[in-house]
Amino acid sequence: MPAAKNEMTVTLPSDREIKLTRVFDAPRRFVYEAMTSCEHLRHWWGPSRYKFVKCDLDFRPGGKWRIVQGGQDGEEFAFRGEYREIVPNERIVQTFEFEPMAGHISVETMTLTDKDGKTTLTVVSRFDSKEDRDGMLQSGMEGGAAETYDRLEEYLPELQAAAVH
């Protein structure tokens, strides 16, 4: 019988927050590395039904990031933000904004904890209002995030194998 798939959990710690938690079968240095460059992000960021079109990433506190995705109809849409805090292999704090909904900016705090060669990813997104949080929940973000993290799980063995060579 195959091992059970790691599931993402979603909780609502407050009326302005969404908390995502997911365990990956990889040491945290690889999970962190996968999140820090366009070269890696292009392999797993976003649901597979969207094409990864463009990535600009200035990975440093104060640096900005922007990712453009494309749909099957040729429509493109982008996400952007700014890095506020980076603690290598442990924590990234950044803003997140879906450009078509400009002005609705959340602050994401991502932490990585390592235990027995597995990494627990916890992302807490804090919104300006309950309405913004609820709008994000209603957008389908839960399914998109779950698929994105499934794709990251699939990419991590490739990243680890490359580190060996």
Please measure the distance between the N-terminal and C-terminal CA atoms of the chain and give it in whole angstroms: 31
pTM of the model: 0.91
Give domain status of residue 4, yes or no. no
Dihedral (Cα; 75, 107, 135, 97), 10-degree rounding: -20
Q: What is the CATH number of the domain that holds 16?
A: 3.30.530.20
| Residue 115 counted as domain residue | yes
* 156 located within any domain: yes
Residue 79 to residues 12, 27, 68, Cα–Cα distance (Å): 23, 27, 6
The one-digit pLDDT tens for each residue of the chain (165 residues) are 344 567 999 999 999 999 999 999 999 999 999 999 999 999 999 999 999 999 999 999 999 999 999 988 889 999 999 999 999 999 999 999 999 888 999 999 999 999 999 999 999 999 999 999 999 999 888 999 999 999 999 999 999 998 876
Note whether residue 65 is domain-resident.
yes
Print the domain residue range for 65: 9-164
- Give the number of domains in the chain: 1
The token pair at 6 is 């790691």
Q: What is the pLDDT of residue 102?
A: 87
CA angle 158, 160, 161 (to 5 degrees): 65
